[in-house]
């Protein structure tokens, strides 16, 4: 397919010179440049405009978009001085992202663009078969939304594109929260296939972009340990792990979530797959249930914990660690000797080593010994760039509890 002729070209007339002392993060390839690293700006510094970034001694570092109202002043799109930022640039980057996913076998449902890891900072695109959900989380990327939508139309001829920009982080960029159709309207209640299961997805009102694709591969990892077992799933949301457990032969599955709407959809997912008798759900506070049930002496063959992010701020990391330790300690006490704990964390500020340390501290306090079965990150359609901690955010651990 021919690359479309660009409709717009924004030449980088503005030059941003960095201070002499900057983080090696920038020199080592990270696309973020913080406001306190900017020395001087020559030219138009209007938010969202394309700028060339130089070191203090006038060596070109790259080209990206600027927003001096944001803590992240510049996000680099390219380090190739010959590369122009235009509609064709975004078409090419989306084609590259799609080729990468295809080579890994992600052709039906996948994260098509994972922001910085696909060299398109602050852009998220999830593919649900023939439907796409898009997030532009920074002012500079939001300006290119028409070019991105056009590229999706040209590459995929999708049945629909939906915008899920109803996220608070946009306000830090001076952008409104909003959601809606970027194509002709369509039914946003869809059904996808994952690992042999059919699952309801609510693109308009579901969490994030409607469904957590990052656990796609991890959900397969429970297929042997749940067979013929009694399984408890806390923070189950719409029951994706729990439905998988039933599908993989669990004797009984109980999912807990505080959201009545999530529990209702979890029941629909179980019924959609003929598992209504195996998978049961309760709308309760999972934190309280774990605490009380561990005191009551309840026991399960497998306990699965998939809580929401506990912090998005470095100032509250210790509080998050305390929370992870508490729920995992309670979870371990609910596991029969020789059973399994399946536990996750999507808090990117809690890096893998710290997460593992927290789990082992919980085991010590619970007076249980652990044998690691597997420790994984997010699915490979959410690629990790070494040294870019925001791309390495999901921790998924299975341990045998002895």
Rounded CA gap, 162 and 174, in Å?
Answer: 21
Rounded CA gap, 28 and 61, in Å?
Answer: 10
- Indicate which residue of 110, 236, 279, 346 is catalytic: 346
pLDDT band of residue 357 (cuts 50, 70, 90) is very high
Residues 162-176, mean pLDDT to the nearest whole number? 96
| 332 touches 341 (CB < 8 A) | yes
- Phi, psi (rounded to 5 degrees) for 73: -70, -40
- Residue-wise pLDDT for 199-242, tens only, equals 999 999 999 999 999 999 999 999 999 999 999 999 999 999 99
For the chain, what percent of residues have pLDDT higher than 90?
Answer: 88
pLDDT at 2 over 70: no
123: how many CB neighbours lie within 10 A of its CB?
28
Predicted confidence at residue 18, as pLDDT, reads: 96
User: What angle do the packed helices 87-104 and 145-156 form, to 10 degrees?
Assistant: 50
- Phi, psi (rounded to 5 degrees) for 267: -65, -40
- Residue-wise pLDDT for 241-293, tens only, equals 999 999 999 999 999 999 999 999 999 999 999 999 999 999 999 999 999 99
Rounded CA gap, 21 and 74, in Å?
Answer: 16
| One CATH from 3.40.50.2000, 3.40.50.150, 3.30.70.920, 3.30.1360.20 for 190-401 | 3.40.50.150
Predicted confidence at residue 105, as pLDDT, reads: 97
pLDDT band of residue 316 (cuts 50, 70, 90) is confident
Q: Would residue 110 show up in a list of annotated catalytic residues for this protein?
A: no
Pairing of strands 252-257, 279-283: parallel
| Rg, the chain, Cα only | 23
In what helix (H) or strand (E) does residue 239 lie, and over which residues does it extend? none
| 34 touches 28 (CB < 8 A) | no
Residues 42-65, mean pLDDT to the nearest whole number? 94
| 263 touches 242 (CB < 8 A) | no
- Residue-wise pLDDT for 102-120, tens only, equals 999 999 999 999 999 999 9
pLDDT at 4 over 60: no
Predicted confidence at residue 3, as pLDDT, reads: 44
- Residue-wise pLDDT for 338-353, tens only, equals 999 999 999 888 889 9
| 16 touches 51 (CB < 8 A) | yes
pLDDT band of residue 8 (cuts 50, 70, 90) is low
Domain boundaries, the chain: 14-78, 87-188, 190-401
CA dist 194 to 145, 212, 279, 380, Å? 29, 11, 18, 15
Predicted confidence at residue 12, as pLDDT, reads: 56
pLDDT at 1 over 60: no
Side by side, the strands of the sheet bearing 131-136 are: 109-114, 123-128, 131-136, 160-165, 178-181
Give the SS3 label for residue 346: coil
Half-sphere exposure of 116 (CA within 13 A, CB side): 19
Predicted confidence at residue 6, as pLDDT, reads: 45
- Residue-wise pLDDT for 63-115, tens only, equals 999 999 999 999 999 999 999 999 999 999 999 999 999 999 999 999 999 99
Question: Domain 87-188 belongs to what architecture?
Answer: 2-Layer Sandwich (3.30)
Instruction: For the chain, give the mean pLDDT.
Output: 94
Residues 120-133, mean pLDDT to the nearest whole number? 98
| First and final C-alpha spacing in the chain | 57
Q: Could you confirm whether domain 14-78 is CATH 1.25.40.80? A: no
Residues 155-164, mean pLDDT to the nearest whole number? 98
Give the SS3 label for residue 301: strand
């Amino acid at each position: 397919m021919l690359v479309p002729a660009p409709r717009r070209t924004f030449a980088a007339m503005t030059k941003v010179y960095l201070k002499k002392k900057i983080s090696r993060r920038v020199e080592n390839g990270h696309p973020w440049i913080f406001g306190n690293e900017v020395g001087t700006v020559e030219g138009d510094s209007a938010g969202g405009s394309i700028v060339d970034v130089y070191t203090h001694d006038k060596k070109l570092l790259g080209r990206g978009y600027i927003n001096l109202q944001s803590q992240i002043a510049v996000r680099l799109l390219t380090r190739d001085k010959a590369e122009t930022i235009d509609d064709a640039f975004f078409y090419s980057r989306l084609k590259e992202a799609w080729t990468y996913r295809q080579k890994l076998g992600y052709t039906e449902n996948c994260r098509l663009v994972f922001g910085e890891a696909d060299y398109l900072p602050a852009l998220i695109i999830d593919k649900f078969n023939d439907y796409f959900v898009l997030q532009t989380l920074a002012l500079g990327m939001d300006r290119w939304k028409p070019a991105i939508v056009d590229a999706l139309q040209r590459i995929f001829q999708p049945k629909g594109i939906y915008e899920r920009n109803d996220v608070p982080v946009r306000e830090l960029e001076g952008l409104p929260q909003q959601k809606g159709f970027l194509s002709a309207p369509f039914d946003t209640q869809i059904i996808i296939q994952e690992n042999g299961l059919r699952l309801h997805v609510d693109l308009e009102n579901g969490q994030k972009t409607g469904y957590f694709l990052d656990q796609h591969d991890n959900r397969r990892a429970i297929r042997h340990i749940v067979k013929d077992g009694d399984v408890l799933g806390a923070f189950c949301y719409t029951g994706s792990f729990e439905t998988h457990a039933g599908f993989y032969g669990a004797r009984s599955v109980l999912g807990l979530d505080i959201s009545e709407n999530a529990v209702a959809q979890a029941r629909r997912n179980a019924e959609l797959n003929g598992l209504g008798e195996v998978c049961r759900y309760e709308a309760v506070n999972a934190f309280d249930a774990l605490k009380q049930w561990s005191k009551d002496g309840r026991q399960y063959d497998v306990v699965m914990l998939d809580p929401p992010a506990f912090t998005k701020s470095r100032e509250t990391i210790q509080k998050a660690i305390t929370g992870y330790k508490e729920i995992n300690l309670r979870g371990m006490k609910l596991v029969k000797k020789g059973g399994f704990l399946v536990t996750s964390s999507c808090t990117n500020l809690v890096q893998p080593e710290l997460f593992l340390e927290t789990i082992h501290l919980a085991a010590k306090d619970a007076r249980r010994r652990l044998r690691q079965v597997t420790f994984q990150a997010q699915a490979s359609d959410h690629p990790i760039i070494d040294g870019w901690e925001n791309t390495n955010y999901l921790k998924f651990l299975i341990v045998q509890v002895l």
